Amino acid sequence: MPLSLVALMMTSPVAAVAPAEPAMPRPAAILAQTRRVADWQLANRTNWAAMPAARKSVRDARDWQQATFWVALTELAGRDRSYAKPLLDLGRAEEWRMGDRPYHADDQLIGQAWLWAAQNGGGKQAAAPVRAYFDHLLANRPTIGLEFIPVAPGKGTSTCTDRWCWCDALFMAPPTMLRFAKTTGDKRYADFVHEEWKAATDYLFDPSENLYFRDSRFFDMRDAKGRKLFWSRGNGWVMGGLVRVLQVLDRQDPQRPYYESLFRKMAARLVTLQKADGYWPASLLDNDPGTPPESSGTAFFTYAFAWGVDNGLLDRRIYEPAAVRGWHALQGAVQPDGMLGWVQQVGDRPDSVSAKETQFYGSGGYLLAGTAMYDLSKKRIKR
């Protein structure tokens, strides 16, 4: 983060931004870059060699690893209708099913793609399994605690994941349920989201840093220099989830100020943690020089900043340059064939990254960033 921007954040929100910022790219260029990554991922759906740490479940299109990409593709399809066909083809092949676990947030994410399809050529049958899934959830609501106790030593799973006890879940489940609540007009689904989101936030949010711990195992964990561990992609999931919640809530919804406040608090902290090269480090408080690029967290933060500026929630003078820097950084992660590299592999904390490693969720984050940047650039150019 350039010192000039830090000074800007500490003084006046209307002061001038430092010179020599990268220029806002043209909308056509952004869309072309976004299509390129989408096309590579669609053509390499079974290229497992590029995803060495992917769980076997990645082969299931309904799993969160793939579902992130498919949900993001709905946004691209909204700007280029040619991308609707692979989504509709996938849904029909999967018979519009949700994931197999009845409570796990990861198995609810794909529902966002099915709800989009129901309104874009898939018909009412596309939403039927979503209704059955959430009706079962409401009728059998889990009441377990949120402490993350691994089911076996060294394993990153816990029985608490029947609720939203890890911050990634806030991207996976709440926007899906809120979209369904809006589709049906049934307030029960929205009430569930607001209650569970606040419970997760009360537990996982660190108000001294305005960031989320990934789960309770990280409350007292520190790195070699004594810094708290706030995972970039984990907080990226939350920021992406906040965007997708705010997209659904009406302006007059009494719950909306809560999410807007949280979104602004996190954004104000995150903008100070962006590196001079435009990336965010895998461990957000790791400001050591030479930290490697990491594209998945950076993509989600770029998405959130671009959307927040475009929708009047974030100060353009501060956050638009940060979004542009993030987008330019992401272009450096795209390999010559269109693969998005520098994606940290599946995990639950900061880890090593490589230019030659990707994941569906990395491509998904890139598509979300690209579509939000495209919208922002279109309005910017018109002005």
Token pair for 252: 């007059």
Catalytic residue among 106, 107, 162, 168: 168
Q: Looking at this protein, which amino acid is placed at residue 160?
A: C
Q: Which residue has the tokens 């820097």?
A: 325
For residue 168, indicate whether it is catalytic. Answer: yes
CA distance 366 to 177: 23
Token pair for 30: 């952004």
Helices then strands, each counted (H, E), the chain? 14, 2
Nearest to 311 by CA among 262, 258, 251: 251
> By CB neighbour count within 10 A (0-12 exposed, 13-18 middle, 19+ buried), where does 367 fall?
buried
Nearest to 183 by CA among 134, 227, 222, 228: 134
Collapsing DSSP to helix, strand or coil, 206 comes out as strand
CA 209 to each of CA 3, 6, 247, 324, 375: distance values in angstroms, whole numbers, following the listed order: 19, 16, 25, 24, 30
CA distance 314 to 205: 21
Confirm if 243 and 308 have CB atoms less than 8 A apart.
yes
DSSP 135-153: HHHHHT---------BSST
DSSP 47-94: -GGG-TT--GGGGSTTSHHHHHHHHHHHHHHTT-GGGHHHHHHHHHHT
Residues noted as catalytic:
168
